[in-house]
């Protein structure tokens, strides 16, 4: 039972990182109806550059974290300018945008290989002081886990408030709803789309840093393992839905650890997750919290 | 002649891979012709490879029946998968076929008959370069004929506007399923040939990134004619070798150049490499069409 409780806790923590990653995906999809397959590469670069700032520039993680997050956001602007904006008015922009984002993913991955090398690296010891709290017999929770969830919750609350209340957030929602109408109302659609990429990529970069801290290992291929999971999470939660992405992330994290806990091996971990994804697509293609119209996308 | 032999000795495996990748790209081209974005063709290739490989290794079947089974079984799988899945569109179809691909990969890792994570070994090496190119030529001819057939025009009209196609009396679902099955069979054929070329197949051979590669070949080459995907597959399969030839060092730089070339083709050749040969009317959306999203 204790093992079970411990697994539940671990699943919630890793699930919140998946959720944060997926929010970036779903934000761009909600606004543009395009999958940005370079998101995982931005995730990697975000994590690796935070590591570099902490290790080689000797910054505290509390400064390196926001700096690397901003850097990831800038990569998002670059991504939009190079790979998405030029294709926007092509009839096949869904396909060609997908491919150009893959091209940028390859370029970003080459960049992270060139800058940071191919080896798996870790944050220097003591980057974050870790306390371990005993919740029960053999159920523990670390301060690192708590701060990860705190950061995720903070970012999500900030994002939600921003989208609900601020002028720019309302403009993003307007563009997502109907680009043409937004343009007619005098919204700077191109600027809003670029800004959406900035936020999306900054969140992706933040997820990369938290992922690296949690697993204590970063490398140029770390994005590959999360890319498919991120896609599964946004389908699960509903394309374009932010609460859906968080919920989907948590569900995915839990399903992973529970499959391992119940079956006793890690072989089936991904199989269960993808079967669930498959079933969701067939039974409720709009996802748990998605809007029905998205099905036509 | 001697030069040719020498050339083949050096580049033989590259030539084989260009042929196989072109065949795989053509298999996806059939599904793309109906506007269906499938990421399942790599998994169909894996099914074909494992079917044919298991038949020759464990059941000592001759080569030709094994290859045939390697094409037929993925076709059957495509019927079973397609019946529920082809109702989905766009990204959702892509995700469902992607999930199918992952399940196939994980099954191959966990089953005993597939040899687990280390893969199926000891497959007799029978496939020859001429077999690959014969299969490719036949497939290309088939795709070219298909495009001008009633089915081909039907698929094209489904791609352009499904509602209008339905109003014209085109049996949408049957046509889509047929295209999906044909694509799966071609992919299975490529997989079966690959299995008998390489002695060994592993679950990693046909994962998510291969599925994405097939899409890349099609978009880079152009999806509107049979030679598009063939050109895309040839260029992108040979690109690392070409870059090596002109002295681009291995590692991150070659990878980056690879990505940049892909980006340039997408940005500046909207209809792919095929438009270099035969310029079809540039298809650009009218503002009305692109401003209005479904």
Question: A186-202: per-residue pLDDT in tens?
Answer: 899 999 999 999 999 99
pLDDT tens, residue by residue, A158-186: 999 999 999 999 999 898 888 889 899 88
- Residue B278 has a pLDDT of 65
B173-182, B188-197, B272-281: range with lowest mean pLDDT: B272-281
Tell me the fold of B12-291: ABC transporter involved in vitamin B12 uptake, BtuC (1.10.3470)
Residue A295 CA to residue A284 CA, distance in Å, equals: 9
Residue B226 CA to residue A1 CA, distance in Å, equals: 59
Closest to B284 (Cβ–Cβ): which among A90, A102, A109? A90
Residue B88 CA to residue B36 CA, distance in Å, equals: 9
Q: What is the mean pLDDT of chain B?
A: 87
Residue A114 distance to chain B (closest CA, Å): 5
- Residue A1 has a pLDDT of 62
pLDDT tens, residue by residue, A60-88: 888 899 999 999 999 999 999 998 888 88
Mean pLDDT, residues B133-161: 92
Q: Which chain A residue shows the shortest CA-CA distance from B207? A: A228
**Do A29 and A94 meet the contact criterion of CB atoms below 8 Å apart?**
no
Q: What is the mean pLDDT of chain A?
A: 85
In sequence order, the 6+-apart residues with CB closer than 8 A to the CB of A94 are: A33, A34, B37, B90, B91
B141 close contact with A: CB closer than 8 A? no
Q: Is the pLDDT of residue A18 over 60?
A: yes
Percent share of chain B, pLDDT over 90: 45
Closest to A109 (Cβ–Cβ): which among B89, B255, B293? B255
Q: Where residue A214 falls among pLDDT bands split at 50, 70, 90?
A: confident
Alpha helices in chain A (DSSP H): 2-32, 39-55, 61-79, 93-116, 143-165, 167-177, 179-184, 189-215, 222-237, 242-263, 269-283
- Residue A292 has a pLDDT of 47
**Do B82 and B180 meet the contact criterion of CB atoms below 8 Å apart?**
yes
Residue A97 CA to residue A92 CA, distance in Å, equals: 8
pLDDT tens, residue by residue, B100-119: 998 898 889 888 888 888 88
Mean pLDDT, residues B261-276: 84
Q: Is the pLDDT of residue B294 over 70?
A: no
For residue B91, list chain A residues with Cβ-Cβ distance below 8 A: 29, 35, 94, 239, 297
Q: Which chain A residue shows the shortest CA-CA distance from B292? A: A180
Quickly tell me which residue has 């995982």 as its tokens.
A40
Closest to B266 (Cβ–Cβ): which among A103, A278, A282? A103
**Do A163 and A242 meet the contact criterion of CB atoms below 8 Å apart?**
yes
Burial A106-116 (b: 16+ CB within 10 A, else e): bbbbbbbbeeb
Subunit contact B91:A88, Cβ cutoff 8 A: no
Percent share of chain B, pLDDT over 70: 94
Mean pLDDT, residues A259-276: 77
In sequence order, the 6+-apart residues with CB closer than 8 A to the CB of B58 are: B113
DSSP codes joined into one string, A27-48: HHHHHHS---TTHHHHHHHHHH
For residue B292, list chain A residues with Cβ-Cβ distance below 8 A: 180
Phi, psi (degrees; rounded to nearest 5) at A218? -135, 150
**Do A18 and A206 meet the contact criterion of CB atoms below 8 Å apart?**
no
Six token digits for residue B90: 């766009």
Q: Is the pLDDT of residue A124 over 70?
A: yes
Subunit contact A113:B85, Cβ cutoff 8 A: no
- Residue B291 has a pLDDT of 40
B134 close contact with A: CB closer than 8 A? no
For residue A285, list chain B residues with Cβ-Cβ distance below 8 A: 88, 92
Percent share of chain A, pLDDT over 70: 95
Q: Is the pLDDT of residue A293 over 50?
A: no
Interface of B with A in 211-270 (CB under 8 A): 212, 215-216, 219-220, 251-253, 255-256, 258-260, 262-263, 266-267, 270
For residue B92, list chain A residues with Cβ-Cβ distance below 8 A: 235, 239, 281, 285, 295, 297
Other beta carbons within 10 Å of B46: 30
Residue predicted with more confidence, A126 or B32: B32
Subunit contact A278:B263, Cβ cutoff 8 A: no
B113 close contact with A: CB closer than 8 A? no
Residue B234 CA to residue B162 CA, distance in Å, equals: 32
For residue A96, list chain B residues with Cβ-Cβ distance below 8 A: 219, 266, 270
pLDDT tens, residue by residue, B197-233: 988 899 888 888 888 889 889 988 888 888 999 999 9
Residue A262 CA to residue A280 CA, distance in Å, equals: 22
Interface of A with B in 116-175 (CB under 8 A): none
- Residue B262 has a pLDDT of 85
- Residue B185 has a pLDDT of 96
- Residue A290 has a pLDDT of 65
Q: What's the CATH number for A2-296?
A: 1.10.3470
Interface of A with B in 170-189 (CB under 8 A): 179-180
Mean pLDDT, residues B27-55: 93
Q: Is the pLDDT of residue B83 over 70?
A: yes
Residue B162 distance to chain A (closest CA, Å): 12
Q: Is the pLDDT of residue A273 over 80?
A: no
- Residue B289 has a pLDDT of 41
Residue B189 CA to residue B198 CA, distance in Å, equals: 15
- Residue A291 has a pLDDT of 59
To test the contact with chain B by mutation, choose from A110, A220, A252, A279 the residue with the greatest count of B C-beta atoms within 10 A, namely A110
Q: Shortest CA distance to B100 belongs to which of B54, B48, B44?
A: B44
Residue A148 CA to residue A285 CA, distance in Å, equals: 31
Residue A227 distance to chain B (closest CA, Å): 10
- Residue B279 has a pLDDT of 55
B131 close contact with A: CB closer than 8 A? no
């Amino acid at each position: 039972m204790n093992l079970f409780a411990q697994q539940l806790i671990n699943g919630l923590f890793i699930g919140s990182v998946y959720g944060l990653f997926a929010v970036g995906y779903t934000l761009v999809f909600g606004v543009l109806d395009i999958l940005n397959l370079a998101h995982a590469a931005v995730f990697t670069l975000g994590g690796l550059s935070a590591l570099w700032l902490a290790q080689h520039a000797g910054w505290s993680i509390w400064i390196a974290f926001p700096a690397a997050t901003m850097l990831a956001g800038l990569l998002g602007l670059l991504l939009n300018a190079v790979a998405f904006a030029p294709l926007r008015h092509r009839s096949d922009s869904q396909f060609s945008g997908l491919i150009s984002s893959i091209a940028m993913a390859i370029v970003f991955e080459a960049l992270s290989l060139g800058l940071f090398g191919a080896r798996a690296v870790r944050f220097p010891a003591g980057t974050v002081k870790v306390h371990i709290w005993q919740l029960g017999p053999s159920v523990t929770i670390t301060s690192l886990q708590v701060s990860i969830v705190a950061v995720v919750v903070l970012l999500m609350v900030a994002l939600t408030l921003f989208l609900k209340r601020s002028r720019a957030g309302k403009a993003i929602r307007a563009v997502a709803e109907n680009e043409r109408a937004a343009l007619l109302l005098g919204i700077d659609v191109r600027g809003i789309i670029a800004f959406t990429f900035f936020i999306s990529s900054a969140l992706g970069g933040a997820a990369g840093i938290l992922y690296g801290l949690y697993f204590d290992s970063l490398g140029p291929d770390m994005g590959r393992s999360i890319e498919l999971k991120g896609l599964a999470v946004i389908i699960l939660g509903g394309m374009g839905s932010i609460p859906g992405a968080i919920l989907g992330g948590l569900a995915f994290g839990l399903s992973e650890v529970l499959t391992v806990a119940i079956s006793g091996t890690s072989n089936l971990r991904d199989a269960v997750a993808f079967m669930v994804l498959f079933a969701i697509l067939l039974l409720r293609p709009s996802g748990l919290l998605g809007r029905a119209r998205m099905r036509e996308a | 002649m001697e030069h040719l032999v020498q050339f083949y000795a050096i580049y033989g495996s590259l030539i084989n891979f260009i042929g196989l990748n072109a065949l795989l790209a053509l298999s996806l081209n059939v599904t793309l012709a109906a506007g269906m974005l499938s990421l399942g063709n790599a998994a169909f290739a894996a099914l074909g490879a494992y079917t044919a490989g298991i038949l020759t290794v464990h059941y000592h079947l001759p080569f030709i029946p094994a290859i045939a089974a390697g094409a037929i079984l993925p076709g059957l799988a495509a019927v079973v998968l397609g019946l529920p899945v082809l109702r989905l569109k766009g990204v959702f179809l892509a995700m469902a076929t992607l999930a199918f691909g992952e399940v196939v990969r994980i099954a191959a890792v966990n089953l005993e008959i597939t040899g687990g994570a280390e893969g199926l070994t000891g497959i007799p090496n029978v496939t020859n370069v001429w077999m690959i190119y014969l299969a490719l030529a036949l497939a290309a001819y088939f795709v070219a004929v298909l495009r001008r057939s009633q089915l081909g025009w039907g698929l094209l009209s489904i791609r352009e506007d499904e509602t209008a196609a339905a109003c014209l009396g085109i049996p949408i679902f049957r046509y889509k399923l047929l295209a999906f099955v044909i694509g799966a069979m071609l992919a299975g054929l490529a997989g079966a040939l690959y299995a008998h070329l390489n002695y060994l197949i592993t679950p990693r051979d046909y994962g998510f990134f291969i599925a994405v590669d097939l899409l890349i070949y099609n978009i880079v080459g152009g999806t509107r004619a049979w030679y598009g995907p063939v050109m895309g597959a040839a260029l992108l399969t040979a690109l690392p070798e070409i870059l090596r030839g002109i002295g681009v060092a291995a590692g991150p730089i070659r990878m980056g150049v690879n990505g940049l070339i892909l980006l340039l083709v997408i940005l500046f050749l909207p209809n792919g490499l095929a438009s270099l040969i035969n310029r079809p009317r540039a298809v650009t959306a009218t503002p009305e069409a692109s401003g209005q999203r479904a």
